[in-house]
Amino acid sequence: MLEKAYKDGKIKAIGISNFEGKYIAELETKWEIAPQFIQVEAHPYFPQDELRKTLDKYGIRLMAWYPLGHGDKSLIEEPIFKTLGEKYGKSAPQIILRWHTQMGFVVIPGNKNVDHIKDNLDILDFKLTDDEMAEIAKLNKGIRYYNGTEEQLAGYAAWQPEYEKA
């Protein structure tokens, strides 16, 4: 249905969410038009190295949810972010969000605080060096903050909006 809407010019991009691993492998065998985006959990503790191999093959952009580890202090207070924050005059969350953009990710931090929203937009006037990106890469712990079950994903896959049933 999304592919038809795309071909008919009704939508400009196809985005999918959360169907990683064996699910994206299965989709890969079926899609005619590869999606332009996939929204998945990603942050320095879980930079989605495995999924990115498939995404790179098709030019699919990763959109990161929980980009700040859902606000986890142990991630935000990693010493490397403090050090880089002092160097660039930025907060640790700003350094993490800049890392996301340099990874090529579209990033959607969640905010209830207006000052944080302004800070999170103010990340375009500095650039992390390759060595700094490599240092941050060492934080990969393979840790997700959200672990959905197979049953949940199967439920999402089987779900049909009312208009599709008609």
Residues that bind ligand NAP (CB under 6 A): 17-18, 39, 65-71, 91, 93, 108-113, 116, 119-120
Q: Which residue is nearest to ligand NAP (CB)?
A: 110
Q: Pick between residue 24 and residue 68 the one whose CB is nearest to ligand NAP.
A: 68
The smaller minimum CB distance to ligand NAP, of residues 7 and 22, is found at 22
Minimum CB–partner distance for residue 41 and ligand NAP (Å) = 7
**What CA–CA distance (Å, rounded) separates 76 from 112?**
17
Q: Where are the beta strands (DSSP E) in 18-164?
A: 37-41, 61-65, 106-107
Q: How far is the CB of 127 from ligand NAP (least distance, A)?
A: 19
Q: How many C-beta neighbours within 10 Å does residue 113 have?
A: 9
Looking at beta carbons only, is 100 or 132 nearer to ligand NAP?
A: 100
Closest approach of ligand NAP to the CB of residue 22, in Å: 18
Q: At its nearest, how many Å lie between ligand NAP and the CB of residue 92? A: 8
Alpha carbon distance 152, 157 (integer Å): 9
β-pairing, 15-17 vs 61-65, is: unpaired
Report the length, in residues, of the chain: 166
Q: Which is nearer to ligand NAP, 7 or 51 (CB)?
A: 51
114/166 with CB nearer ligand NAP:
114
State in angstroms the smallest separation of the CB of 74 from ligand NAP.
Answer: 13
